[in-house]
A and B are shown apart, each in its own frame.
Chain A
C-alpha cells in the first residue's frame, strides 16, 4: 500500500493525490527539462532538417513525449493551487479551473501530436 502510495498509483483522491503527483512529476521533469534545455541550446542555429532528424530518433521522440506530458501535468497542478489560493469568487474560480484544464490538455495534445507527426514523417 505504501509503495503504491509512493508511486501515486493507489486510489489517492483529492489533496494527497495532488500533492504526490506534483512531486512525482517534478522529479521526472528535472532530468528531462535539463536535457531539453541542453538540446535546445545546441540546436540554436540548426535548420529545419537537422531538428527534424534530431526529434525523429526513437530515443529523442519518446523523451520529448514524456517531457511534454510531465511538464503540462506539473504546470496544471501548480497553477491550479495558485487559482485555488487567490481566486475566491466561485464563478471566476470555476471558469479559471475549466480554462486551465482545457488549456493544459489542448497544449499537451498539440505538443504530443506535433512530435508524432514529425517522427512519423507526416509533414
Chain B
C-alpha cells in the first residue's frame, strides 16, 4: 500500500517559532474573546449599575490574585494585536519569505513585550502617584 502524506502529528512535531506564534494567535484570540469580553461587559455593566457596584468590580479586579490574569490579558491583547497586523500584511501578499516571516515573528514578540511593559509601567506610576498624593 502506498503511503499517503500525513498532516503533522503535534506530539512529534518539533515546535518552531512560526508554528508557536500561529497557535498562540488562536489561543490569545480565544482567551480575549471569552474571558476578556466577559470582563469588558461586567466592567461596563457595573458602571451602569452605580457607584457601589462599580467599586465592587474594581476592588475585585484590583485584588492581588487577579494580577497574573490581568498581566496575561494585557500580554494576550498586545500579542493578538501585533500578530494580527502581521496577518494583515500576509493577506496583502507581503512577507511570505521564510526569513521575513521569522523577522516579523521576532518583531511581534518584541512589540508585545514593549507594549505590555509600557502599559504596566504607566499603570504602576499612576497608582504610585495616587498613593504618594
Given contacts A30-B85, A48-B54, A78-B33, are A41 and B40 in contact (CB under 8 A)?
no
Please give 6 more A-B residue pairs, beta carbons under 8 A apart, in addition to A51-B54, A123-B50: A30-B85, A64-B44, A78-B29, A82-B30, A122-B48, A123-B48
Rounded to whole angstroms, the CA-CA distance of A114 and B87 in the bound complex is 33
Q: How far is the CA of A113 from the CA of B130 in the complex (A)?
A: 32
7 inter-chain pairs at a CB distance below 8 angstroms, sorted by A residue, are A26-B84, A37-B74, A41-B123, A48-B47, A75-B33, A111-B44, A123-B49
Secondary structure class of chain A's binding surface, majority of residues: helix
State which residues 20-50 of B face A: CB under 8 Å.
26, 29-30, 32-34, 37-38, 40-41, 44-45, 47-50
A104–chain B nearest beta-carbon distance, Å: 8
Q: How large is the interface on B (under 10, 10 to 19, 20 to 34, 35 or more residues)?
A: 20 to 34
**Majority SS at the chain B contact face:** helix
Contact yes or no, B50 A111, CB < 8 A: no
Q: Which of A16-75 contact B (CB under 8 A)?
A: 23, 26-27, 30, 33-34, 37, 41-42, 44-45, 47-49, 51-52, 55, 64, 68, 71-72, 74-75
Most buried by A among B40, B48, B130: B48
Max chain B C-beta neighbours (<10 A), residue from A23, A34, A45:
A45
Tell me how far the C-beta of A42 lies from the nearest C-beta in chain B, rounded to whole angstroms: 7
- The reply to whether A44 and B26 form a contact with Cβ atoms under 8 Å apart is no
